Amino acid sequence: MALKMTRRRFLQSASLAAATIPLSKVVSADSSFTSGEFAAPGSFKDTKTVYGGVCEMCFWRCQLVGKVRDGQLVKLEGNPKSIDNGTALCARGNAGLKLIYDPDRLKHPMKNVGERGKPKWKKISWDEALDACAKGLQKVRKKYGPQGVALWYHGASAHYPTAFFEHIGVPNICEPAFYQCRGQTAIAMLKTLGYVPNEDVDMANAKAMLLIGTHIGENIHLSHVRNFITGKLRGAKIIVVDPRFSASAAKADVWVKIKPATDTAFLLAVMNYLIDKGIYNKKFVKESCNGFAKFKKGISGMTVKKAAKICDIPAAQIIEVAEILAKNAPNVAIHPGRHATWYGNDFQRIRAHACLAALLGGYDVPGGIQNINRMSAGHVHWPEAEFDDDYDPEDFALAEMAEKYPFRPPGTPTDMIRETMITGKPYPIKGMVVWGANPIKTFPVQDETKKALKNMDFVMVTDVSPTDITMWADILLPEACYLERYDHIEKGTQWDCSAKPQQFIAPRMPLVPPMFERKDPVWIINGLAKRMGVGKAIPVKTQEEYVDHCLKEVEDVELSIAKIKKEKGIYIQEGESSYLEPGDVAEFNTESEKIELYLEELEEEGFSPVPVYTKVPEPPRGYARMIYGRSPVHSFNRSQNNAWLHHEIPENPVWLNDELAAKMGIKDGDRVSLENQDGVKTTGTTIVKVTPGIRKDVIYLAHGYGTDNPAMTVAHNQGIDDQSMNTRTVIEPETGCCGMRINFVRLIKDGKSISIPA
């Protein structure tokens, strides 16, 4: 049975819930970019605390308060009322101040009078900009039908625009967060458990934690990190499986220095050992799991000895991990991770995560994965539900073609949209809207993305800053940032599940008004809707009304913006414990109401119904596999132009094994560039970090550096763009998600390519 999953259905089933400041330079008539700094406020009268901020320097959404003087935001702090992050903010959260007053930010609507990729900008009015967008999109729709338009979107502000484009019949919609990040995690968990736990893992009360390539301490999701640290301080045994000595590995009791792309083999061997020795949680498996006998038989071939050879680790270490987990079960945190698009065999790896937690009974118990749906703070309808859908996306050929990936995340796979933009098959896509996404830095095979954009009749881009994708716009629209607008409703629970059960609801509210001509998404989309002849379908007139509408949908309590303001930005109510009561049996939202160890839906579609390891290609001689991750002060590319954060980590060092470095004549701090297996070279350079803390068959660097757009004056050409090395990709057959760690590189120093020793 194929998985029919629209974006809205997925979100519901997963329960995802003009002041002026002097400029030292005047913006020129033909540009909205300026390199001047803002002058200091002329006077400091009373400082006012403004409540209601919700951070978006990353997508963990900590709750904020702002300190405002003379209409200018001068400081950000965590909201003292928050049961999520409290008064704490990370470096990125504090640096939001530098984003709002970044002189490089988009200020006015712009028209590209040059060519895509090499723009020449002319400042235009909002009327002219929206007229041009409506005309461009309508022309495409009239000639090619609504399927002639595509949308790439990301971020909280894209919910309302996405609902609008769905309403007018646009079927080609994709969010990179699914197909290039966490799609496998969400769908694998949804099909195995019946819900998506995200990172709802009670690490604070775990007796043991297993992290597979999960870079806690480098992603700096505040409540998440606090949860991890609390568990560590309370004595939890920490196991980290990673080719690199990451920040979390530095806190581990056991670091498994695994060969990349072999994680599933490791997990299968651990599960086999638990079953063979009879040290799995028999009671939980009998009561709450489906298909155990078939599962046991299906994974039996991956012995400890076999996995040790595949993973290039000692067999004794696999046994040690299994024994630690069994000894501390059921209070074990088998962390599902987040970013999962690694090697093209990742859906089965995440299935193995869920199944291992099941064998240990690690669900809805202290330290385990929590079904937060059970303790939800009412039900918040997602904003896009406000626009009615007048079409079924499955009616279109491209969506039908996507059926080849029966377990795909919501939307149409990225590579399908891009290929159709280039080839015109099965139908032409000639109009592109990009909202808050940066596909140049997000999608692998950049040349294909650029070719697709060149082939468009019209490209509209809305963003906060001049990211690389903005260079490809015909019309560029400046959006108010998260500190300047009403927006997405955040809801959640306290980070330590052993504490008094509480839930919160916190809509994003502006701390200061937007400057220049920046507008919120409701204002922009409503103006576009009127010009495209669908003004009668507009559900709300303002962003504030939009948030109020969503608050009214919360069950069992009457909420409004006015009430939330009186509550200092956060509504808190008592909740229910996510832990099972003694004698209770865990239930799951699957057809069997149990965890699907043996997933028959996979078998029906021709895939292995139990997790299976699939071998991937090895590095060619002279090259190492390139892997990537997070910088602790950056959210990939979106924060690269932040001067405060750039000052802390201005470039992304290449991690190289110390023994290899000695053989190659490379020293710590040497400046290098990279060359991949296809002969493509990076335009930027960076320094080498020589370390014993990485395997010899990989090199590592943080993702998001190497910005191409010179309008980003801080980030331009700083560090190496790892995505430029991803000239090959592999599409996972179950989900249609991209494999992002399948390219191989060698170093270039002083213009000379240096092969990596075998």
pLDDT tens readout for residues 344-353: 999 999 999 9
In-domain check, residue 141: no
Of 248-262, 544-558, 726-740, the poorest mean pLDDT is in: 544-558
* Mean per-residue pLDDT, 476-487: 96
Of 235-249, 354-368, 370-384, 491-505, the poorest mean pLDDT is in: 370-384
How would residue 574 be classed by pLDDT, with cut points 50, 70 and 90?
Answer: confident
Please state, for a pLDDT cut of 70, what percent of the chain lies above it.
91
Of 40-44, 224-228, 414-418, 713-717, the poorest mean pLDDT is in: 40-44
* Mean per-residue pLDDT, 4-28: 34
What's residue 497's pLDDT? 75
SS3 of 130-171: the string is HHHHHHHHHHHHHHHCHHHEEEEECCHHHHHHHHHHHHCCCC
Work out the mean pLDDT of the chain and round it to a whole number.
90
Cβ atoms of 705 and 630 closer than 8 Å: no
Residue 7 has pLDDT above 50, yes or no: no
In-domain check, residue 209: yes
What's residue 502's pLDDT? 84
Residue 374 has pLDDT above 90, yes or no: no
Task: Work out the number of other CB atoms within 10 angstroms of the CB of residue 618.
Answer: 12
What's residue 391's pLDDT? 67
- Rg, Å, the chain Cα set: 25
* Mean per-residue pLDDT, 213-226: 88
Residue 493 has pLDDT above 80, yes or no: no
Q: Work out whether the CA dihedral 608, 197, 240, 724 comes out positive or negative.
A: positive
What's residue 12's pLDDT? 39
**Could you give the number of structural domains in the chain?**
2
How would residue 403 be classed by pLDDT, with cut points 50, 70 and 90?
Answer: confident
* Mean per-residue pLDDT, 260-286: 98
Q: Among residues 374, 400, 431, which one ends one of the domains?
A: 374
Q: Among residues 374, 401, 435, which one ends one of the domains?
A: 374
Q: Work out whether the CA dihedral 632, 638, 639, 643 comes out positive or negative.
A: positive
Cβ atoms of 23 and 103 closer than 8 Å: yes
In-domain check, residue 131: no
Q: Among residues 315, 344, 374, which one ends one of the domains?
A: 374
Task: Work out the number of other CB atoms within 10 angstroms of the CB of residue 718.
Answer: 20
Length of the chain: 758
Residue 185 has pLDDT above 50, yes or no: yes
The whole-angstrom distance between residue 329's C-alpha and the CA centroid of its chain comes to: 30
Distances (CA, A) of 274 to 258, 329, 358, 550: 20, 11, 12, 47
Instruction: Provide the 3-class DSSP secondary structure of residue 550.
Output: helix
Residue 550 has pLDDT above 90, yes or no: no
What's residue 44's pLDDT? 53
Partner residues linked to 150 by β-bridges: 172, 432
Report residue 463 as tokens: 């963003």
Give residue for tokens 């910005």: 707
Please state, for a pLDDT cut of 90, what percent of the chain lies above it.
78
pTM of the model: 0.92
Cβ atoms of 740 and 180 closer than 8 Å: yes
Residue 312 has pLDDT above 50, yes or no: yes
Cβ atoms of 523 and 487 closer than 8 Å: no
Cβ atoms of 71 and 46 closer than 8 Å: no
What's residue 383's pLDDT? 44
Q: Parallel, antiparallel, or unpaired for β 475-478 and 458-463? A: parallel
What's residue 427's pLDDT? 96
What's residue 17's pLDDT? 27
SS3 of 437-490: the string is CCHHHHCCCHHHHHHHHHCCCEEEEEECCCCHHHHHCCEEEEECCCCCCCEEEE
Annotate 351-377 with b (16+ C-beta within 10 A) or e (fewer). Answer: bbbbbbbbbbbbbbbbbbbbbbbebbb
Which domain, by its residues, includes 660?
A: 624-754
In-domain check, residue 536: no
DSSP class of residue 555 equals T
What's residue 386's pLDDT? 63
What's residue 45's pLDDT? 59
What's residue 501's pLDDT? 82
In-domain check, residue 540: no
* Mean per-residue pLDDT, 437-448: 96
In-domain check, residue 707: yes
User: What is the CATH classification number for the domain harbouring 629?
Assistant: 2.40.40.20
Report residue 418 as tokens: 């891009």
User: What is the CATH classification number for the domain harbouring 327?
Assistant: 3.40.228.10
* Mean per-residue pLDDT, 554-580: 89
Residue 749 has pLDDT above 90, yes or no: yes
In-domain check, residue 23: no
Which is nearest to 267 in space by CA: 212, 309, 320, 216? 212
In-domain check, residue 286: yes
Distance CA 324, CA 328 (A): 6
At residue 81, what is the residue type? K
Of 8-12, 447-451, 669-673, the poorest mean pLDDT is in: 8-12
